[in-house]
A and B are shown apart, each in its own frame.
Chain A
């Protein structure tokens, strides 16, 4: 049973299980308790979630948590912000690429249907 909101804990447990499997020790089950932040579809209002419960999980966001761990290991705030900025610019570039790409045309319907 692993805290699935803890990146380091999941990494260590997964490493151990993989090593075990590779040394012919057989399969392992990892139970990683976690939380699904997003909804089932784009625009899902998630009315089925309890707001207070969702907020409590938001505070356990594994990315924030990992940042705190790195901070404790001496990685300063500026370095973490740089990582943050890099991720944001990657996402913005992908969104921009999607928005600028032309709509596919009818004759492209079967492109990539089969590998040649």
Chain B
């Protein structure tokens, strides 16, 4: 697929949504201010104009009720992309997400499916305050039955969204608001990035740095600095926490014999611990 242009992360997501909505009339966008307003961070801009109020659905400020309806709609065959404006407010949909959406397929022995994407924003920066800055992906990744993706680049934002919309499971996608304006190469056609495949952002032989989201860019910048000191760091962008591409991580660490896992969220009982444990258990003799 030819890479012929650079577009921002935010536009890459909107492009993925628009393409999937054109391809499948069951794909709908639901959330607060997603319609005529185009999203508080302009992250659904243009969709309302093209698809109208029946497919780009504004909800009242009642996340648990609205998300519950989205779960039911998914069980009945729609493919909702539900937006929780700030990841901090996942707290308000946790019951529907954890106790309903993640359980239905298992409890029905595969008879019911929940093809649903929950998109939400996260991360520090922008002076948005303590209830608008947290990153709760470790919570979601801890729940069996959910998948979790964290795109770091515009290309992956488009590709992971398209894969998630086509997947028959409930998937939570965390978008770092500070990446929305990041420019990057995005294939203009049907660009799909499979869930559960990590990306080697930078190849190296001396140490493996595993990161995701914003931290991929920090890690890559650090690797460039290390290179000037003669240390070649390999940077792996995990891309998905569930399923986690353990093979790519382990293959790299077996080669470099050193690993560093970085994360912007609180460390205790978090994602870094899980990845470090995997490396400790399986990569070293």
Contact = CB atoms under 8 A, between A and B. Distances in A.
Interface of B is mostly: loop
A41 interface: no
A113 B168 contact: no
Interface stretch (B49-57, B104-112, B275-283): B104-112
Interface string B91-113: 00000000000000110111001
B229 to A, nearest CB: 44
B144 A116 contact: no
Contacts of A106: none
Interface in A45-89: none
A75 B168 CA distance: 46
Find the residue from A110, A112, A115 having the highest chain B CB count within 10 A: A115
Contact of A116 (B108, B115, B145, B168): B168
B121 interface: no
Contacts of B144: 110, 113
Contacts of B168: 115-116
B169 interface: yes
Contacts of A110: 144
Chain B interface bracket (under 10, 10 to 19, 20 to 34, 35 or more) = 10 to 19
Contacts of B147: 114
Contacts of A114: 105, 145, 147, 169
A27 to B, nearest CB: 12
Contacts of B167: 115
A115 B113 contact: yes
A115 B168 CA distance: 6
Interface in A20-63: none
Interface in A82-116: 110, 112-116
A116 B144 CA distance: 15
A86 B190 CA distance: 53
23 contacts: A110-B144, A112-B105, A112-B106, A112-B108, A112-B109, A112-B110, A113-B105, A113-B106, A113-B144, A113-B145, A114-B105, A114-B145, A114-B147, A114-B169, A115-B105, A115-B110, A115-B113, A115-B114, A115-B115, A115-B167, A115-B168, A115-B169, A116-B168
8 tightest Cβ-Cβ pairs between the two chains A and B: A115-B168, A112-B110, A112-B106, A115-B113, A115-B105, A114-B169, A115-B169, A113-B106
